């Protein structure tokens, strides 16, 4: 497997690549209705993009001004190679650099353990979002 890079993305400039990743993962793989995937928050969010050494866009995550991390997606053939971990490390660093004191996310139940490894704790009962079981999780960024 090649080396991966994480870069700060600009929604206006990089939305084609970000949308392609999210479309493949959420709409095609997970059957999230297209009208529920796209919202008006992307334009104001911080975005990160994971790429291969040959600049192929393979993963993304966003951070909203509310402190919510979301829309984390890695293309299927690049999963289990550390791309998600690199994206999560980078988005947590981005949150700290922008003076967030805590962050939260809506984790698919199947990914709860992944987020717990980063220090997130469950703060809700299980609920359904876009037809998928989720749990709300939170992490403090202050020592």
Return the structure tokens found at 63. Answer: 């951070």
Does the domain spanning 4-101 belong to CATH 3.40.50.1820?
no
Where do the domains of the chain lie? Answer: 4-101
- Specify the residue for token string 């939305």: 15
Comparing CA positions, the residue from 53, 51, 60 lying closest to residue 24 is: 60
Comparing CA positions, the residue from 139, 138, 109, 114 lying closest to residue 126 is: 109
Distances (CA, A) of 108 to 61, 129, 137: 15, 9, 10
Question: For position 2, what pLDDT does the model report?
Answer: 56
- On whether the CB atoms of residues 74 and 84 are closer than 8 A, the answer is yes
pLDDT profile of the chain (143 residues), mean per 10 = 85 96 95 91 96 94 97 95 95 96 96 96 95 95 87
3-state DSSP assignment of residue 25 = helix
Q: Rounded to whole angstroms, how far apart are CA atoms 78 and 58?
A: 7
């Amino acid at each position: 497997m090649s080396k991966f890079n994480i870069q700060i993305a600009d929604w206006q400039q990089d939305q084609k690549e970000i949308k392609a990743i999210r479309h493949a993962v959420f709409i095609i793989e997970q059957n999230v209705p297209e009208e529920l995937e796209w919202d008006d928050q992307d334009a104001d969010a911080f975005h990160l993009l994971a790429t291969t050494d040959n600049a192929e866009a393979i993963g993304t995550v966003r951070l909203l001004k509310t402190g919510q991390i979301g829309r984390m997606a890695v293309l299927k053939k690049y999963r289990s190679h550390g791309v998600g971990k690199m994206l999560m490390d980078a988005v947590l660093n981005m949150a700290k650099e922008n003076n967030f004191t805590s962050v939260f996310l809506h984790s698919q139940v199947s990914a709860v353990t992944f987020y717990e490894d980063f220090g997130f704790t469950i703060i809700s009962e299980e609920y359904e979002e876009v037809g998928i079981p989720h749990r709300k999780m939170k992490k403090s960024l202050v020592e």
